Homo-oligomer: A and B are copies of this chain.
Amino acid sequence: MDRLQFQSAVMRMGRAAAVGLVLAIAALPATVRAGELLPSWNDGANKARIVSFVQTVTDPTSRSFVPPAERIAVFDNDGTLWTEQPVYFQLAFILDRVKALAPQHPEWRTQEPFKSVLVGDLAGVAASGEHGLLEMMAATHAGMTTDEFRTIVSDWLATARHPRFNRPYTELTYAPMKELLAYLRANGFKTFIVSGGGVEFVRVFSERVYGVPPEQVVGSSIRTKYEVRGGKPVIARLPEMEFIDDKAGKPVGINRYIGRLPILAFGNSDGDFEMLEYTSSAPGPRLGLIVHHDDGEREYAYDRKSSVGRLERGLDEAAQRGWVVVSMKSDWRTVYSPPAQ
C-alpha cells in the first residue's frame, strides 16, 4: 500500500478505524514492516535480524529490553562505513601530503619511502614496511598543532578524488550504513566509531558525514603535548605513536574511551574480530555484524587474500558465533548515495 492508497483508505474508514489500523500496523512483526525501514537495505534475513534486534532491545515489555544508557553501538570505519580500496583513504592522504610537502624536503628525492612516493612507485612504498609508514606518519601527521592538522585534513577532503570513482572520499561512505546509524540513534542508541585510522583524522568528518560527534570517535593516536605559544594554548602533535586501535587494541580502546560494553558491533575485517568477540560474548542481547565485500561491480570484491581489510577468521567463525555476515551485493540496494547535484 503506497501513501495515496493509504490516505484514501483512511478517508473511507473514518478516523477511529484508521487509528486502529495504525495501531495494528505498529503491532506487526518486524519482518513484515521492515520494508519501511532502512530503504537502502534489501529485504531479507539479514535486514530482519537487525530490525528485530533493535525492536527487541527497545521494547520495555521484552525480557531482552536494554535501557537507553546501555545501548552502545560501535562501528569500524575503513571498509565498514566507507570504502578502503585500492588503499586506506588515510594512506591516500599521506601520499598526497608527501607530494605537497616535497618542495620543502629536497632530501626526500633520495630517501625512502619518500623517493618511491614521489615517483609513484607504490610497490616501493610497500617494501619500506612498517618503518616506512611510521616515517611517513611522522612527516605528515606530526609537527603541527591539532588545529592546523584539522585544517590540512579538511582541505584535502574538499579537493581529493578517489582514483576509480572520481568522487570526494567522504561521498564514498555507504548509504545503508548511514541509514543504520540514524536508525539506531532514533532508537536511543549512542553510536561510536572505533577505527584503526587516526582519531583526529576521522573526527574531521565524522559529525558532518555520519552524525557521530568527535567525542564518540575512538581511533589510533599519536602523542600530543600541551603548550602555550605566544599566549595561545595549543596541542602539539609529536612524531610518536601512542595507541593502535586495531585487533586486540579495539576492545582496549572501547574500554578506555567508552568504559561500557557495546551491545552491537559492526566491522568488516579480521582487524575487527576482537571487537566483535568482546561485544558478543557477554550475556544479554548482543549483535555482531560483518560487511562482506563481495560486490566487485559496485565496489570491490575481496576477503581472505586481500592485503587491505583481510577477512578470514571472521568468515570462518561467524556462523558458530552467531554473527551476521552482510553481503554488500545482495543485502544492499544502494552502496553510495548519488552525487550531490
Please indicate which of the listed interface residues A199, A203, A259, A282 has the most CB atoms of chain B within 10 Å of its own CB.
Answer: A259
Q: How far is the CB of A186 from chain B (nearest CB, A)?
A: 17
A95 at the binding interface (Cβ < 8 Å)? no
A306 at the binding interface (Cβ < 8 Å)? no
Asked if A217 and B251 sit within 8 Å, CB to CB, the answer is no
Which of these, B200, B214, B252, contacts A235 with CB under 8 Å?
B252
Asked if A207 and B277 sit within 8 Å, CB to CB, the answer is no
Q: How far is the CB of A276 from chain B (nearest CB, A)?
A: 10
**A67 to B76 Cα, complex, angstroms:** 28
A92 at the binding interface (Cβ < 8 Å)? no
Contacts of A216 in B (CB 8 A): 215
Which of these, B207, B233, B252, contacts A226 with CB under 8 Å?
B252
Asked if A259 and B203 sit within 8 Å, CB to CB, the answer is yes
Please indicate which of the listed interface residues A200, A225, A233 has the most CB atoms of chain B within 10 Å of its own CB.
Answer: A233
Asked if B278 and A233 sit within 8 Å, CB to CB, the answer is yes
Which of these, B69, B215, B221, B231, contacts A258 with CB under 8 Å?
B215
Contacts of A192 in B (CB 8 A): 215
Q: Number of A interface residues, CB 8 Å?
A: 39
Contacts of A213 in B (CB 8 A): 69, 260
Closest residue on chain B to residue A274 by CB atoms? B226
Closest residue on chain B to residue A218 by CB atoms? B257
- Which residues in window 255-285 of A have CB below 8 A to B? 255-260, 274, 277-278, 281-282
Asked if A225 and B200 sit within 8 Å, CB to CB, the answer is no
Which of these, B146, B228, B232, contacts A255 with CB under 8 Å?
B146
**A266 to B277 Cα, complex, angstroms:** 39
**A256 to B222 Cα, complex, angstroms:** 10
Contacts of A232 in B (CB 8 A): 281
Instruction: Mark each residue of chain A from 233 to 261: 1 if its CB lies under 8 Å from any CB of chain B, else 0.
Output: 10100000000000011111001111110
Given A257-B257, A258-B215, are A69 and B226 neighbors across the interface (CB < 8 Å)?
no
A224 at the binding interface (Cβ < 8 Å)? yes
Asked if B225 and A259 sit within 8 Å, CB to CB, the answer is no
Please indicate which of the listed interface residues A192, A203, A235, A281 has the most CB atoms of chain B within 10 Å of its own CB.
Answer: A235
Residue ranges of A at the interface with B (Cβ–Cβ < 8 Å): 69, 72, 146, 190, 192, 199-200, 203, 207, 213-217, 221, 224-226, 228, 231-233, 235, 248-252, 255-260, 274, 277-278, 281-282
Q: List 27 A-B contacts (CB under 8 A).
A: A72-B215, A190-B215, A192-B215, A199-B256, A200-B259, A203-B259, A214-B258, A214-B259, A215-B215, A215-B216, A215-B259, A217-B259, A221-B256, A224-B252, A225-B248, A225-B252, A226-B249, A226-B250, A226-B251, A226-B252, A226-B274, A228-B277, A232-B281, A233-B251, A233-B274, A233-B278, A235-B252
List 8 tightest A-B contacts by C-beta distance, closest first.
Answer: A214-B259, A226-B248, A226-B251, A215-B258, A233-B278, A235-B255, A203-B259, A214-B260
**4 more A-B residue pairs beyond the given contacts A224-B256, A257-B257, with a C-beta to C-beta distance below 8 A:** A221-B256, A226-B251, A226-B278, A235-B251
